[in-house]
């Protein structure tokens, strides 16, 4: 048996195990750990416990000591240096014109290495950037490209549920999530409703997936032919959590009835042809409606009205061909047939009401 402790290097990160070297460490205490990347500052999340040596994958690294006041001061100084390094790196990225987004900067505990985290759509050639940063800080520089889910974990924030991101609180590793989980849980497939702030499917779809899969094994399928206490019908909808289903009965197709899964008997699972003896009853044909005029004609005998004699048209008098010319309009000149001279034809002005002729 080997004594071990569980520690985390950042809040919500993965838990690692180290050898305490016989020192008792309580949960919440900070310790100095020797890792493959150097000396690091960590928090104890699981106190001393015994583990069988057969369960160990590799040799445990030792814990150097419990953190002191000087170690906490060193951590505070590193945070101030990280803010300054972030501004300098952001300025260098703009000078080189690189298409990358700087997310976070981390100093090692002893200050021997600076780690820059960034995101980008594709591969970025940052060799010239590393040289400039090394000349400024004069220490080991490392640039690491991360994904959008890792960015959300580092930055933190609030999800659509109103709580902090699960990945930044307690998730140690990202679980694979697929659109099939949303279909199994009967959740809306709208991307805005099932996607997180990172643009990927929400991690919480994985939480209840196993429970839904167990319920789905016991529940009947849609469009199944079942036998209920009220008769034979077809399943229209299934509620997995309540273990209920909606059935449309053959004898009453206009209404929907709800039954427990234990109260029905499955005759045919899913879609398909109905077995013998369970054919769907045919709907009775409604009598055809006759037009109203046919009913009246059938009830009352036809009565012929006497035809009216044709009306004679009045003869119009013949038109007389007059050789008199048509009167000219006002302002136009009328030609005289004899003398050849023309004169204007004036119409008398109408008197206005109230005027007197002098």
User: What burial letters (b/e) apply to 155-189, b meaning 16+ CB within 10 Å?
Assistant: eeeebeeeeebbbbeebeeeeebeeebbebbeeee
Percent of the chain with pLDDT over 70: 78
Q: Is the pLDDT of residue 356 over 50?
A: no
The contacts of residue 280 (CB under 8 Å, 6+ apart) are: 250, 274
Q: Residue 151: which H helix or E strand, with range?
A: helix 148-155
Tokens 């952001």 identify what position? 90
Q: How confident is the model at residue 348 (pLDDT cuts 50, 70, 90)?
A: low
Q: Beta 113-119 vs 140-145: how paired, if at all? A: parallel
Number of alpha carbons in the 13 Å side-chain half-sphere of residue 160: 13
Between residues 265 and 331, which one has the greater pLDDT? 265
Predicted confidence at residue 284, as pLDDT, reads 61
Q: Is the pLDDT of residue 242 over 80?
A: yes
What value, to the nearest 5°, has the Cα angle with vertex 165 and ends 163 and 168?
130
Predicted confidence at residue 357, as pLDDT, reads 47
Tokens 């499955």 identify what position? 266
pLDDT tens-digit map of 35-68: 887 888 988 988 888 887 777 777 788 888 888 8
The DSSP-derived string for 296-340 is HHHHSPP-PPPPPPPPPPPPPPPPP---PPPPPPTT-EEE-TTT-
Q: For the residues 300-310, what does the mean pLDDT come to?
A: 57
Number of alpha carbons in the 13 Å side-chain half-sphere of residue 303: 4
Instruction: Collapse the DSSP code of 42 into the 3-class scheme (helix H, G, I; strand E, B; otherwise coil) and give the result.
Output: strand
Please say whether the beta carbons of 342 and 336 come within 8 A.
Answer: yes
Q: Is the pLDDT of residue 211 over 80?
A: yes
Tokens 């505070």 identify what position? 76
Q: How confident is the model at residue 308 (pLDDT cuts 50, 70, 90)?
A: low
Averaged confidence pLDDT in the chain = 80
Between residues 357 and 32, which one has the greater pLDDT? 32
Which pair of tokens denotes residue 283?
Answer: 């709907």
pLDDT tens-digit map of 159-173: 888 888 888 888 878
Q: For the residues 309-325, what does the mean pLDDT come to?
A: 59
Q: For the residues 253-280, what does the mean pLDDT come to?
A: 86
């Amino acid at each position: 048996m080997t004594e071990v402790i569980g520690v985390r290097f950042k809040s919500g990160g993965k838990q690692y195990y180290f050898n305490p070297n016989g020192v008792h460490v309580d949960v919440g205490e900070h310790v100095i750990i020797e890792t493959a990347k150097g000396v690091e500052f960590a928090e104890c999340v699981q106190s001393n416990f015994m583990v069988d040596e057969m369960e160990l994958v590799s040799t445990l690294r030792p814990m150097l000591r419990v953190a002191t006041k000087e170690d906490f001061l060193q951590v505070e100084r590193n945070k101030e240096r990280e803010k300054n390094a972030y501004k300098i790196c952001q300025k260098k990225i703009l000078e080189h014109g690189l298409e990358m987004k700087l997310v976070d900067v981390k100093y090692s505990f002893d200050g021997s290495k600076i780690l820059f985290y960034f995101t980008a759509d594709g591969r970025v050639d940052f060799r010239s950037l590393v040289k400039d940063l090394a000349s400024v800080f004069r220490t080991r520089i490392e640039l690491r490209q991360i994904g959008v889910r890792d960015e959300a974990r580092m930055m933190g924030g609030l999800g659509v549920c109103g709580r902090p991101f699960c990945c930044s609180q307690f998730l140690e590793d990202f679980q694979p999530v697929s659109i099939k989980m949303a279909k199994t849980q009967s959740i809306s497939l709208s991307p805005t409703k099932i996607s997180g702030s990172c643009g990927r499917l929400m991690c919480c779809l994985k939480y209840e997936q196993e429970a839904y899969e167990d319920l789905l094994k016991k529940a009947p399928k849609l469009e199944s032919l079942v036998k209920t206490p009220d008769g034979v019908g077809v399943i229209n909808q299934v509620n997995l959590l309540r273990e209920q289903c909606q059935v449309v009965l053959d004898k009453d197709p206009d209404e929907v009835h709800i039954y427990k899964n234990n109260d029905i008997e499955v005759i045919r699972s899913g879609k398909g042809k109905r077995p013998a003896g369970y054919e769907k009853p045919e709907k009775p044909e409604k009598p055809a409606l006759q037009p109203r005029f046919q009913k009246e004609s059938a009830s009352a005998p036809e009565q012929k009205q006497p035809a009216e004699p044709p009306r004679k048209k009045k003869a119009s008098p013949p038109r007389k061909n007059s050789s008199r010319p048509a009167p000219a309009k006002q302002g136009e000149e009328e030609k005289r047939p004899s003398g050849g001279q023309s004169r204007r034809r004036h119409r008398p002005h109408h008197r206005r009401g109230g005027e007197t002729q002098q």
